[in-house]
Structure 1
């Protein structure tokens, strides 16, 4: 063997020995990155605004065969109340959790309890609200609802998402935890499910903010947002960072926040890279939505403020579905055109 080749080979093995002696490892790059999981959620599972959301809520309750679980911030709709009474009298397991600080709930709870429906106030401390809005039917279908079940709630520009895969079981499991937290009695929700995997993530409380930050940081092209209020400092900074990396950041907020949170709005505008518009005053903006790269989205139960993330009981849903996101992208573009700079 030529001396030159001998020295090269010897040097190579000496270098390897030093690396391993020092606890180092050599990382071999993977030839192909593993594709991110996508959801099979279809556009037909999205219900926009009052009539569509209300009618789907009615039809799901009407179709229930064994159980109906409900968690609501506000609830006084008379037709839905009567339907639940009918279902309870027919022998279905009807259970309802309500926020204890909302006045519309007081008469609703009295009316339902007087007819032996199992309804309770979520055990919040004073100042805390239960913003989770869930309808779970037969433990295999769920409607994650934007609006509260009141006349005002159903009139807002809002969104509801129907789940029928594994995420519906996850919703039932989350509800069971809230019910046990309230009453100390667990529900009979199975530990596993045969429902198909749909790659949808449900998060509560502090994890809602974490999901939102992860979605913002993972964006490579665009972040389009509709939310009545955005003031949480970490979220604001994440949006500024994303815009600084060239992401197309657009935000539609409720017109009322122009005077309520001017400092945050000015901070976002000052970057010169984030565009903000105000939703028309004629309709309340109920949607709390982020569309990421036009291919996935996150919907949360309330505004993106520190108080909501830290104090209140919140819920979010993250859906990596290009098909469903396309429908929301079209809605956003229409809202953007009719909103004011």
Structure 2
């Protein structure tokens, strides 16, 4: 979603100052058409991501000067600021690898674009789906490797394969905690399934029209998986999604601190 006209104005200003501004849009997202049209009329290059049936381009990514990036789950929609969600401001080798994703998407859209080789990065893996299935594979591997704890904050948690893995983890003694958005009907079934396996599951307590829009998993308080991808079949197998898998206990502590606040605030 992209209905934030203030952000449209900022991008047009950057273009007018001589910066190269390139945008990749999801052509199926009709509510954003005005924003994209205004950018194109202002001279910004806007490219449509090639979609297949039942797919969307769900990526949320901003790269500036090739050295900084904002990535996560937050849309630029009119309602997005009301939601509870996760983005990070990234720097370092991960930005080079995010740039590769952007350039590859341009190439998929029919725009000839050189794609550099991956940048070595010991701490952060950039994961995409459709093309590829890197996010589900990473989530399953992280669940299988967990020995002590798994903490989840999720808009939609419904993929049967990941649910089976979470049930198995809980039954082998891993402390499993999940905080889910109450507006998504699939999550009620998920809650019952995980609770039956011994997990602690709560619905997020909303403030007004707020949604729990985050897609976050924390493993053994040391590894974090987050981004645009819901843990649903569509997220893992149909949509074009972008996540980061970060091996960093400090970042995990930051996310856990906020999750803990949300958990306490959502006490039944």
Does TM, normalized by the shorter one, top 0.5?
A: yes
Q: Aligned in 2, Cα 1:92/1:198: closer, same or farther, shift over 3 Å? A: farther
State whether residues 165 and 198 of structure 1, in contact with CA within 8 Å, keep that contact through their aligned partners in structure 2.
no
1:269 paired residue number: 195
State whether residues 249 and 274 of structure 1, in contact with CA within 8 Å, keep that contact through their aligned partners in structure 2.
yes
Q: Confirm whether residue 201 of structure 1 aligns to residue 125 of structure 2.
A: yes
Q: Confirm whether residue 212 of structure 1 aligns to residue 139 of structure 2.
A: yes
1:315 paired residue number: 242
Quote the offset at 1:328 in angstroms.
Answer: 0.9
Larger radius of gyration: 1
2:206 paired residue number: 281
- Aligned-residue CA RMSD (Å): 1.7
Quote the offset at 1:95 in angstroms.
Answer: 0.4
Q: Structure 1: how far apart are the matches of 2:217 and 2:246?
A: 11
Q: Confirm whether residue 146 of structure 1 aligns to residue 70 of structure 2.
A: no
Q: Confirm whether residue 127 of structure 1 aligns to residue 127 of structure 2.
A: no
State whether residues 157 and 186 of structure 2, in contact with CA within 8 Å, keep that contact through their aligned partners in structure 1.
no
Q: Secondary structure at the match of 2:113?
A: coil
* Greater alpha carbon shift after TM alignment, 242-251 vs 150-159: 150-159
Quote the offset at 1:302 in angstroms.
Answer: 2.7
- Residue by residue over 1:76-113, the C-alpha shift from the partner in whole angstroms, topping out at 9 and shown as x without a partner, is 21111111111112221110011111123211121111
Question: What residue ranges of structure 2 are gaps of 5+ in the alignment?
Answer: none
TM-score, normalised with respect to structure 2: 0.93
The equivalent position to 2:29 in structure 1, one of 89, 98, 102, is 102
Q: Secondary structure at the match of 1:183?
A: coil
Q: Structure 2: how far apart are the matches of 1:235 and 1:191?
A: 31
Question: What residue ranges of structure 1 are gaps of 5+ in the alignment?
Answer: 1-73
State whether residues 208 and 300 of structure 1, in contact with CA within 8 Å, keep that contact through their aligned partners in structure 2.
no
2:14 paired residue number: 87
Q: Structure 1: how far apart are the matches of 2:155 and 2:202?
A: 11
State whether residues 289 and 297 of structure 1, in contact with CA within 8 Å, keep that contact through their aligned partners in structure 2.
yes
Q: Secondary structure at the match of 2:203?
A: strand
Q: Aligned in 2, Cα 1:260/1:239: closer, same or farther, shift over 3 Å? A: closer
State whether residues 224 and 250 of structure 1, in contact with CA within 8 Å, keep that contact through their aligned partners in structure 2.
yes
Q: Secondary structure at the match of 2:21?
A: strand
State whether residues 230 and 304 of structure 1, in contact with CA within 8 Å, keep that contact through their aligned partners in structure 2.
yes
Q: Confirm whether residue 166 of structure 1 aligns to residue 93 of structure 2.
A: yes
Q: Confirm whether residue 256 of structure 1 aligns to residue 180 of structure 2.
A: no
Q: Confirm whether residue 293 of structure 1 aligns to residue 220 of structure 2.
A: yes
TM-score, normalised with respect to structure 1: 0.74
- Residue by residue over 1:191-223, the C-alpha shift from the partner in whole angstroms, topping out at 9 and shown as x without a partner, is 476xx8452001101111001111111111100
